[in-house]
Each structure stands twice: as structure tokens, then as C-alpha cells.
Amino acid sequence: MNNTERKIVRPGQALAMLIVGIAVIIIGLMVLKLNNRIVLSVGGVILCFMAWCFGIRYDALQQGIKDTIASMIVAILILLAVGVLVAVWMAAGTVPVMIYYGMKVLTPGLFLPIVCILCTLMSVLAGTSWGTLATVGIACMGVAQGLGVPLPAAAGAVCVGAFFGDKVSPLSDSPVITATVTDVPLMTGIRHALISTGPAYLISLVFFLIYGLRYSSGSVGGEVYEDILRTVSSSFSLNPLLLLPVVVVIVLIVMRKPTLPTFVAGIFTGAVLAMLFQHNSLAGILGTMYSGFSIDSGSAVVDSMLNRGGFTSMLSTIGLLMAAAIFGAPLRTAGVVDVLLDFVQRLAKTSRSMSLGVLILHAVFFCITGAYYVSYPVVGGMVKDLYPKYGLDKKNLMRGMLDTGTGLAPLIPWSTTGSYTATTLGVTNMAFLPFAPMLWLSIILSIVYAATGIGTAKLAAAEAQE
């Protein structure tokens, strides 16, 4: 069916579908506290029924869902590869060796910047901010208490490191999801995200360095700290060669090789090292690839730090992408997105006003829902086609959503991530906010970029007209 034959709903019907869709999300997430996958799926079913009542054929709606899911296949494969990669790197000792030597170099005067870097390494390599907070983060909070470092400052350093990795690590599902919904190549989008996140992160490191020097008279220690070092060293054969998988992946990324082959190379290298250094069997490694790494070390903290990854660990996120496709497809098939874009174009006269408006829209929608796993596919799916119409690359949208989603999440007390962060670290969101500059500086930079056009990637004239 070509565009001239395509039937779309009238503006009033489009508005009704949009209002119902948003209402389902708000009621489902905030009132009924339901799982976001169920909320999106139920919302999609309701929207399909409304579209059918408004004259949209069922086979067109079904084809829309099919096409949307088909467009996510590469992202789904990347997610599965990430799950396998994380499990293999845990089994090989790649992540444990980083944690061990990272904690060994902790010194009182450089405590805050080293904590930030250590959490950065953990989150980048494991692709998880939550896992970083609950493991290395908790350990560092215990050390901070012993050193007399203010807990809000320590929490800020932990959060900057944890959420830097969550925003820009190719192993994190946040960049993968945003790249998928915005139709941006993963590594291209991550490199562009560093335009705002990179400077904000470096400024944060300088702040931690200067602020942390006043605590140079303390001594590093603590029960949790010693427990992690003792358990990791006894559970793994630690060797600098275990960092080889990280080097392989970084080199291939720098060489701009495709994401999937890069991850496969990292998986293969890690699997070989797991058999050589940790004496895993081939069958054992293959089992770990599927179900994830699992160890009973005798330390609850270490177990929670390392027991993760695997093919099955990504099925929940893949389910989210499919639920988002069910929700978003009827909006596009019925022409609701077209009506919305037409309305936005009448209001936004320039690319700058459009970019700024989308940035604010996503921030507001995220604050309402409290879940960027919902705001990314919903907002991203609706507005992504605006950017080429204004001569802008879609990677600008990916960067803006990461800043106002993953970056904003730990600061919002009622969001899932914000609540988890405050509970895990034992510090309120507002208390550590001043000590986590990257989280809000990257948002400020995104606003400046949108308002001024600085740092904004533009399309060539031919691309913008397509």
C-alpha cells in the first residue's frame, strides 16, 4: 500500500487516540503500578481497536506491528550479544579483575575521583547502573563512612560513574533502546551522546578531585571493602591478561567495525580466557552464555555483583521493545503521528525551537511516567521523523533523550531508578544532586545545544529532502 492509498484518521480522532494512549500509560504505571510491558501492550490493543473503529483496516494494523518489530531485529540481536558478553566476561574474570585492582588503588585524597572512575569501569563493562550501585557503590559508601567523607559526596561520585556507563556503554540497554527507536546506528549515537555527557563527566571528575583533597588524612578500609577484595581474589585467578577482551572490543570500536562482530570477538576472547585461566569447560561456558554467570562465593555482596548476564537476561528488555512496537504501531499506521508532526511543525518554525520543544516534551513525559523504558519508545517513536524534516540528524534526538532520560532518572525521587538509587545508597536524591554534576550538566548542555544549534548534527540537503 503506497502513501496515496493509505487511509489515516481525522485530526479529532488522532487526538482522541493520543489522549487515550497517554492516559493508559499514566493510569497503568502510576495508579495501578503495573509492569510497563503489560501497560504498553494493553495500550496498543486499545489503540488498535480505536483505529479499527475509525476505519483503519486490521491487516494494515497488523502489518504495522510486524514492520515495527522487524525494524528492531538488529537491536534484538545486539541485546542478546550483550547478555552473552557480560556473562562470559564475568566467568573469565575480566570484570572481577577490574573491580579488584580498582579497589586496591583507592587512596583517601583521591577517593572521590577514583570511586567515580571505578564505578564508570564497572558500569561500562557490565552495562548496568543498577548493578554498579548495588555492588561497587555500596562498598564505596562503606569506605566513605570510614574515611569521614560526606555520604552525599560519595553517592554523587558513585552516581556519576554508574550513569555515565549506563548512558554511553554499548553493553547498556539504554543506548540500545534509544538507538533502536530513533533509527540511529548504535556506536554513531553513542559517540554523539558524548558531546554533552563527555564534558559534563570531565567537569565532574575535576570537581571530585578538588573537593576530595580535604579528606586525604583518612585510611581506606571497612568490612565490605575487605570482604570484596578477599572473596574476589579467592574465587578467581586474577591476571592482567584478563583485560584482553576489553582491549579487543575497544580497538574494534575505535576502528568503527560493526557492533555485532565486535561483540562476538569480545565473547570469543573472553570464552578462551575463561577456559585458560578459570578452568571452565567448553560446556560450562556455553551454559553460562545462555543462563548467565552464577557463583556462590560465600559473600552476598560479591554474588550480587557478579551473578548476571546471559542470553536469558535480555529477554525482558526484548519483551519491552515488542510491547513498545504494539503500542506505537497503531499510532503510526492510523496517521496519529502524522497529525502530531503536522501540529508540531506549525508551532515550531525553526529546527532550534523544534529540538528544544522535543527535549522539554521528553523530560516532562519522563517525569510523569518515571520510566525511561516507556518514554524512550513512546516519545522517540512519535517524533523521530521530525528531525529529517528540519534538516537534522536523528542522533540529536538520541542524545537528548539519553540526557533527559537515563541522566535525569536518578534525580527524580518518584521514578523507578531514582527510588532505587536513593534506597540503595542511603542518601536522598536531593542530597546527592549537588555532588553529581554530570547528571544535570549534560541536560543543561543539551538545552544550550538545542537553543543555539551548537553541537547539533545536520543532514546534507539531499538527505533532508528524502
pLDDT digits (tens, 9 = 90+) for 285-306: 999 999 999 999 888 878 877 8
Nearest C-alpha neighbor of 332 from the set 178, 177, 179, 181: 181
The letter for the amino acid at 457 is: A
Work out the number of other CB atoms within 10 angstroms of the CB of residue 181: 28
Residue 340 has pLDDT above 90, yes or no: no
Distances (CA, A) of 31 to 352, 373, 416: 36, 18, 14
The H or E element spanning position 185 is none
**Lookup result for grid cell 503510526:** 332
Please enumerate in sequence order all residues whose Cβ is within 8 A of that of 49, keeping only pairs 6 or more positions apart, or say none. none
Q: Are 351 and 391 in contact (CB under 8 A)?
A: yes
Give yes or no for residue 199 having a pLDDT over 80. Answer: yes
> Average pLDDT, stretch 397-420?
90
Task: Count CA atoms within 13 Å of residue 203 on its CB side.
Answer: 15
Question: What is the C-alpha to C-alpha distance for residues 337 and 14, in angstroms, rounded to an integer?
Answer: 8
Give the model's pLDDT for residue 5.
Answer: 58
- CA-to-CA distance for 122 and 162, rounded, in angstroms? 7
Work out the average pLDDT over 312-322.
85
> Which pLDDT band holds residue 221 (cuts at 50, 70, 90)?
low
- Per DSSP, the residues of 288-302 read HHHH------S-HHH
Per-residue model confidence (pLDDT) at position 299:
87
Amino acid type, 448: V
User: Over 90: is that where the pLDDT of 381 sits?
Assistant: no
Find out whether 136 and 99 touch, Cβ atoms under 8 Å: yes
Rounded Cα–Cα distance for residues 60 and 40 (Å): 20
Q: Please say whether the beta carbons of 268 and 58 come within 8 A.
A: no
What is the rounded CA–CA span in Å between residue 338 and residue 334? 9
Question: Which segment of 52-66, 324-338, 394-408 scores lowest on mean pLDDT?
Answer: 324-338
Q: What SS3 class is residue 91? A: helix
- What gap in Å lies between CA 217 and CA 88, rounded to an integer? 40
- Confidence (pLDDT) at 6: 66
Which has the higher per-residue pLDDT, 247 or 204?
Answer: 204
Neighbouring residues of 181: CB distance < 8 A, sequence distance ≥ 6: 324, 376, 377, 380, 381, 384
Span 82-134, pLDDT tens digits = 889 889 999 999 888 887 887 787 777 888 999 999 899 888 887 888 878 87
Burial class (CB in 10 A: 0-12, 13-18, 19+), 148: exposed
Instruction: Please say whether the beta carbons of 463 and 388 come within 8 A.
Output: yes
**Of 34, 33, 68, nearest in space to 48 by CA:** 68
Question: Poorest-confidence range of 23-32, 133-142, 225-234?
Answer: 133-142
In one-letter notation, the amino acid at residue 59 is D
Residue 91 is which amino acid?
A
Task: List CB contacts of 247: < 8 A, sequence separation 6 or more.
Answer: none
C-alpha angle 367-13-32 in degrees, rounded to nearest 5: 40
The pLDDT of residue 428 is above 50: yes
What is the mean pLDDT of the segment spanning 352-376?
Answer: 85
Contacts 24+ apart (CB under 8 A), 103-106: 103/136, 103/139, 103/225, 103/228, 103/229, 104/229, 106/143, 106/220, 106/225
Query: Mean pLDDT of all residues in the chain?
Result: 87
3-class SS shares of the chain: helix, strand, coil, % to 5:
75, 0, 20
Angstrom distance (rounded) from CA 163 to CA 409: 9
Which of 83, 86, 262, 76 lies closest to 181 in space, CA to CA? 76
Tell me if 205 sits within 8 A of 169, measured CB to CB: no
